Amino acid sequence: MPVDKFTDLETYYPDVSKEDDILDYIWTLALILLPAAEEYSEYTILGSLAISKFKKRYNDRLIDIPLTYDDYIAENEIQTTIKGLGMDPDKFWYALLFIKDYTDGECLPEFGRGDAPINELKKFIETISNYETTECNPLTEDVHFTKEIKLSIIVDKKIELTIKSPNTIKHIQSLCYNSLTQLNTMKEKEIDAMTIIPRYKITPSPKKSITIFTYTFKLLFDELNLNKGMRGDSKVSYDKSFLISRLLFLTGITTKEDYNVDKVFLKNNLSKVKKVLCTGAVNKNYE
């Protein structure tokens, strides 16, 4: 049965507690993907902050996965495959949650860097100025540009609003300019907000998500050194790649049913994209 809530939320080193025993497979990955070493005079202790972050996200029900533990257990063929490969189904469930969270970029998101607000405002003001015919007051005069200018607000790749009026655009520019001229009167927190370079989450593309999920599971299987000789129901596939393929479909990473029924579909699709290794070097939110 799954754990309701973890209690030791500051886990740093692997231990033998019953609570962490269920997370054996996650520890296997965490020590490779997100190691955190503590140096002592004569030795080094290797740990990971990933487990603590995972436990907190698990307790808060933040891991986005479309199937429950009961749904997972009810997948008889997958359960037969997992057991036939010599793995513990309950430990595997937590590994599945961890790898899904990893793939989604929630526990280990990639970040891009934008420009500081003050720099963006300066660029905006300068750009509009480059197309002004003459300097004028947008509240009392007609504004004219040398070329057509539009301002668009895009929400989730969809244009929600487009501003076409030269007077409106000029007025926005004037407000921005007036704001910048008052920087010397701003409070320290306001100045920090204008000058700090923001970081934003990059959501992995569907193709990259498939690749990350696949190679993270392959890493786990390699580290577990699973036996090649499989025994069990002859009607069930014990192919590890096909198991990963079916899990891609069950977790909603892909909606293509071919992944759930075609043993070579994943292999054929991965051969078309560049291999992405899950090193953890680009993802730091578990720190």
Q: What is the mean pLDDT of each successive set of 10 residues along the chain, which is 287 residues long? A: 84 71 91 74 74 91 93 94 92 96 70 72 92 90 94 88 95 90 73 66 75 91 74 74 93 91 84 46 38
Query: What is the pLDDT at residue 171?
Result: 95
The Cα 54–Cα 106 span in angstroms is 10
State the CB neighbour count (10 A cutoff) for residue 94. Answer: 20
Query: What is the pLDDT at residue 282?
Result: 37
| C-alpha distance from residue 149 to each of 120, 152, 169 (Å) | 17, 10, 8
> Which pair of tokens denotes residue 194?
């204008």
Query: What is the pLDDT at residue 226?
Result: 74
Is residue 238 a contact partner of residue 84, using CB atoms and an 8 Å limit?
yes
**Identity of the amino acid at 194:** M
The Cα 59–Cα 9 span in angstroms is 10
Q: Which is nearest to 251 in space by CA: 68, 129, 48?
A: 68
What's the predicted TM-score (pTM) here?
0.64
The Cα 164–Cα 179 span in angstroms is 23
The Cα 246–Cα 242 span in angstroms is 6
Q: What is the CA radius of gyration of the chain?
A: 26
Q: Which is nearest to 245 in space by CA: 218, 266, 226?
A: 266
Query: What is the pLDDT at residue 51?
Result: 87
For every residue of 204-238, DSSP letters joined together read: PPHHHHHHHHHHHHHHHHHHHT--S---S-TTS--
Query: What is the pLDDT at residue 20?
Result: 80
The Cα 246–Cα 248 span in angstroms is 5
